[in-house]
Chain A
Amino acid sequence: MNRWLAFLIRCRAMIIKEMWAVLRDPRARIILVGPPIMQLVLFASAATLEVKNVEIGVLDLDNGPAAHEVLQQLAGSPNIHALHRLASYADLARAIDRRDVLCAVVLPEGLSRDVAARKAASAGAVCDGRRSNSAQIMGGYLADMVGRAGLALRGVAPDAAPGGATVVRHMFNPNLDFLFFVLPALVATVASISSLSVSGQSIARERELGSFDQLMVAPLRLPEILIGKMTPPLIVGLVNATLYLLVITQLFGEPLRGNVFSYYLATFCFLTANIGLGMAVSALAQTQQQAFLGIFLVAVPVNLLSGFAAPVDNMPLMLRMIAEADPQKHMVVLMEGLFLKDMPLATVLANTWPLMVISAVTLTFSSLLFRSRME
């Protein structure tokens, strides 16, 4: 009984000391909470795979009814900001080279004649392959518009497909709002970067400032020191998680369909896994600079393999296996599931246990490193 009380008292002292170390500097206090929220809002607004407001060039060599119909479709598109008339192929080449336009539509001579004669008629489009992502998306839009123009010229209703139909139902996000996908994934990204960078400094800073030796001679046991080191990033992370939840549901109007308990359970396990990772790097580093750069070297792959930037399904087998050890990969699945899909507790747990394993491994590893430094 007394041993436990002493343990708690020492833990409390250690936690107070660590909280002071993190929160003492007023600029550091602001940095812990302000930027993560700013990032969430700014990046959520910037991240869209829709292509809007683009400039499109038109080289009209046809001047007939078919060209007129295509131009009308283009002019009516909400994705196109302005249509630029081009006079010649040389003009077109210059407009693409100089990035004045993303794509240029070419309506060849005799297009209207071919359409009227029911021959295979085809318009052309040149897109800027330097921006291949946006160009492909815009190319898809253009193909749709030209196809619709063709149907209009024939006088056919746009959705007359052969024999039968496919009724589509998008579950969880009926309008396929891209923002609803980005926000939960950003919670994982932002929380990962902030918890890694706080915990990465924990041990390296003491070592650089020379207070590590003081810690070693203090009447503290290893678990007490580790608990003390883990607490500040955990508390900061949970406070931020609460703010994300408020911003996402109140400001962006995305519902949290899963239950709040699961949200905090997932966040807690995710934070522990990241803190374990951060402390391991911190224990390996000799200076704060090394710790920070080490964290960065870890954070980049963790981020890129998480499935946010590109689906994990598309990766080669080797990288898919590495991604299983990436806490952020599991967190993205959990957040997408909890915000939109009302993921049941059993499924939440199925995606949480890998996080617990990662935490156990990284925390054990960092405490072993820590212990070896003590001796």
Chain B
Amino acid sequence: MSALFSARRLKAMLVKEGLQILRDPSTILIAFVLPVILILIFGYALNLDTGRTRIGLAQQDGGEAAASLATAFRQSPWFAVVAVGDVPHLKDELVAGRIRGIIVIPQDFSRRAAAHAGTIQAITDGSLPNNAAFVASYADGVRQNWALARDGRAAVQPALALTLRYWFNPGSVSRYFLVPGAIAVVMTMIGSLLTALVLAREWERGTMEAILATPLGMAELVVTKVVPYYVLGLAAMTICTVVSLILFDVPFRGSVLALLAISSCYLFCALGQGLMISALARSQYVASQIALLAAFLPSLLLSGFIYEISSAPLWVQWVTRIVPARYLIPSLQTVFLAGDDWGLFLPDMARMLLFGAVFFAITLAKTKRRVA
């Protein structure tokens, strides 16, 4: 048996893998089209800033004060009054989801408003908790401002106010924090999902047996499977980055070197995970499902990208510790929005490499045993 790595064998296999990728339209689709779709959706569709909320207005009082308050609601930049009528009718609209809240101006409102005690009712759609809280607090805001303006008073100065500043993202633009998430999703797709599928296919079709019958060593096999997808992953990451920088003016305050280093560590780990899944599953269907459940969804939901990890129950926090993307997101957010901070990057990079090493070790052990 020759040396562990032979340049000739490696080159031959790399060419084979490269051609296999380039000749399959689906891998090109995933590596080049998916990143663009993701960035576009994240940039345009995931708008967490509330616009005008559709409400219904039940004006039960014909007095002047009630009419004036109703106008205040109609002119509010926070609400769009799209339905008027009695409460039962508006409740049906609320159930149907055509409106998100009902403002009731009760019968004796004008009389009580004259005595500075005008009370209104806000009925919200609790099935959408964020929206409901918004409607409740802004409805009260509209009423308070109306009452103050009517009394000819300026807003009361609070005894103690809080001036909030958001570092790195002063305008709290949600796009800025979504981009690192998009990159994580795309690299997980290519690293774990695509790799798992490709290798499982070799097993399923029996071409793996053919490869194993060649002088190619296990280590060489793993390297030739990893390198092309590593390149593909970096290419997709670059597309994500460039598109988001051009289209959405997302800041990039760190260095390209740091971004490459962080992405490489994550790809190492994701590729290891993909190889391990395929070695364990050996069927494309099973591999695809495991990759989806163990790699893709956790990278979206358990990585701290959307939901704060510390807010989850303790057992979920433990589960997130074995989600590699959890160690990627903070570094990516930092490299885009804050700049290079190797004291923050290095521990997380080490963790990702460690996870990757474990995945690769399991893959090698599993493959050897089954073939022998």
Instruction: Provide the bound-state CA to CA distance between A288 and B167, in Å.
Output: 47
Closest Cβ neighbor of B343 among chain A residues: A98
- Residue B4 lies at the interface, judged by CB distance under 8 Å to chain A: no
Q: Is the CB of B312 within 8 A of A46?
A: yes
Beta-carbon contact of B136 and A168 below 8 Å: yes
26 CB contacts below 8 A, A to B, read A43-B297, A46-B320, A53-B311, A125-B162, A130-B337, A131-B177, A131-B333, A133-B48, A133-B306, A150-B160, A163-B151, A164-B117, A165-B119, A169-B121, A170-B124, A172-B126, A174-B126, A178-B129, A193-B297, A288-B197, A304-B45, A309-B306, A310-B46, A316-B45, A319-B45, A337-B95
Task: For the complex, give the distance between the alpha carbons of A225 and B38 in Å.
Answer: 35
Q: For B29, list chain A residues within 8 Å (CB).
A: 293-294, 297
In the assembled complex, how far is the CB of residue A63 from the closest CB belonging to chain B, in whole angstroms? 16
Residue of B nearest to A136 (CB): B172
B159–A315 CB distance below 8 A: no
Q: Is A6 an interface residue (CB 8 A)?
A: no
Q: Mark A172-198, 1 if CB is under 8 A from B, else 0.
A: 111011101100100000000100010
CA distance A163 to B132 in the complex (A): 23
Question: What's the minimum C-beta distance from A220 to chain B, rounded to whole angstroms?
Answer: 23
Q: Is the interface of A mostly helix, strand, loop or mixed?
A: helix
Which of A139-147, A237-245, A268-276 faces chain B? A139-147
How far, in angstroms, from A128 to B164 measured CA to CA in the complex? 11
Known contacts: A127-B165, A319-B44, A344-B95. The answer to whether A296 contacts B193 by CB under 8 A is yes
A121 pairs with B124, CB closer than 8 A: no
- The stretch that binds A, out of B141-149, B261-269, B358-366, is B141-149
Stretch at the interface among A9-17, A27-35, A353-361, A362-370: A27-35
**Interface hub of B139, B157, B308 (most chain A Cβ within 10 A):** B308
B322 at the interface (CB under 8 A from A): no
- Cβ of B94: which chain A residues have Cβ within 8 Å of it? 171, 341
A292 touches B117 (CB 8 A): no
Q: Are B41 and A289 in contact (CB under 8 A)?
A: no
Q: Is the CB of B124 within 8 A of A166?
A: no
A31 near B286 (CB under 8 angstroms)? yes
Query: Which residue on chain B has the smallest CB distance to residue A333?
Result: B97
Residue on A with the closest CB to B50? A314
* Interface membership of A206, Cβ < 8 A: no
Is A31 touching B344 in the complex (CB atoms < 8 A)?
no
Q: Which residues of the partner chain A approach B118 to less than 8 Å between Cβ atoms?
A: 163-164
Taking a contact as CB atoms closer than 8 A, the residue among A50, A134, A164 that contacts B116 in the complex is A164
Q: Do B311 and A292 touch (CB < 8 A)?
A: no
Instruction: Determine whether the beta carbon of B117 is less than 8 Å from that of A163.
Output: yes
Contacts of B10 in A (CB 8 A): none
The size class of the interface chain B forms with chain A is 35 or more
Give bound CA distance, A305 to B42, whole Å. 10
What's the least CB distance linking B90 to chain A, in Å? 11
Report the separation of the CA atoms of residues A333 and B185 in the bound assembly, to the nearest whole angstrom. 26
Among B116, B131, B160: residue with most chain A CB under 10 A: B160
Q: Does A88 contact B (CB under 8 A)?
A: no
Q: Is B246 an interface residue (CB 8 A)?
A: no
Docked complex Cα distance between A112 and B316 (Å): 42
CB within 8 Å for A129 and B159 given contacts A45-B312, A172-B126 = no
Selected contact of A309 from candidates B46, B311, B338, CB within 8 Å: B46
The 7 closest A-B pairs by CB, nearest first: A150-B160, A173-B126, A129-B169, A150-B159, A163-B116, A129-B166, A170-B126
Contact with A along B313-357 (1 / 0, CB 8 A): 101100110000000001001100110010110000000000000
- B292 interface contact, C-beta 8 A: yes
Contact of B147 among A50, A96, A164, A173 (CB under 8 A): A164
Interface string of A129-161 (1 = CB under 8 A from B): 111111110010011001101110110100001
Q: Known contacts being A172-B125, A313-B51, is A350 close to B96, with CB within 8 Å?
A: yes
Task: Decide yes or no whether A52 CB sits under 8 A from chain B.
Answer: yes
List 19 extra interface pairs beyond A287-B26, A341-B95, CB under 8 A: A27-B286, A43-B297, A46-B312, A96-B167, A127-B164, A131-B304, A132-B169, A150-B159, A151-B159, A167-B121, A168-B121, A169-B121, A170-B132, A288-B197, A294-B26, A309-B46, A313-B53, A319-B41, A342-B95
* Interface status of A49 (Cβ within 8 A of chain B): yes
Does A207 lie at the interface of the complex (its beta carbon under 8 Å from any beta carbon of B)? no
Give Cα A268–Cα B91 distance, bound, in whole angstroms: 28
B5 beta carbon closer than 8 Å to chain A: no
Known: A52-B311, A97-B344, A167-B121. A125 touches B163 (CB 8 A): yes
Complex interface residues of chain A between 22 and 52 (CB less than 8 A to chain B):
25, 27-28, 31, 35, 38-39, 42-43, 45-52
Instruction: Decide if A372 is an interface residue (CB 8 Å cutoff).
Output: no
Please tell me if A77 contacts chain B, counting CB pairs below 8 Å: no
Tell me if B54 counts as interface (CB < 8 A to partner A).
yes
Residues of B within 8 A of A154 (CB): 159
Q: Would B160 and A173 count as touching, CB distance under 8 A?
A: no
Does B119 lie within 8 Å of A293, measured CB to CB?
Answer: no
A287 to B116, CA, bound (A): 73
Query: Could you tell me the distance in whole angstroms from the C-beta of A89 to the nearest C-beta in chain B?
Result: 12
Q: Separation in Å of the B259 CB from the closest CB of chain A?
A: 15
Contact residues of B between 176 and 194, Cβ < 8 Å to A: 176-177, 185, 189, 193-194
Most buried by B among A176, A178, A197, A336: A176
A285 interface residue, CB < 8 Å from B?
Answer: yes
Contacts of B159 in A (CB 8 A): 115, 118, 121, 150-151, 153-154, 156
The CA of A245 and the CA of B123, in the complex, are separated in Å by 28
CA distance A39 to B302 in the complex (A): 11
Cβ–Cβ contact B316 & A127, under 8 A: no
**Central interface residue in B136, B156, B285, B344, by most chain A CB within 10 Å:** B285
Decide if B293 touches A143 in the complex (CB within 8 Å).
no
Q: Which residue of A49, A115, A153, A181 is within 8 Å of B127 (Cβ)?
A: A181
Residues of B within 8 A of A311 (CB): 50, 128, 131
Interface assignment of B61: CB less than 8 Å from any CB of chain A: no
Most buried by B among A52, A120, A132: A132
Which of A42, A99, A297, A319 touches B30 (beta carbons < 8 Å)? A297
> Are A99 and B168 in touch, CB under 8 angstroms?
no
What's the minimum C-beta distance from B89 to chain A, rounded to whole angstroms?
A: 14
A31, A97, A184, A293 pick with most chain B CB within 10 angstroms: A293
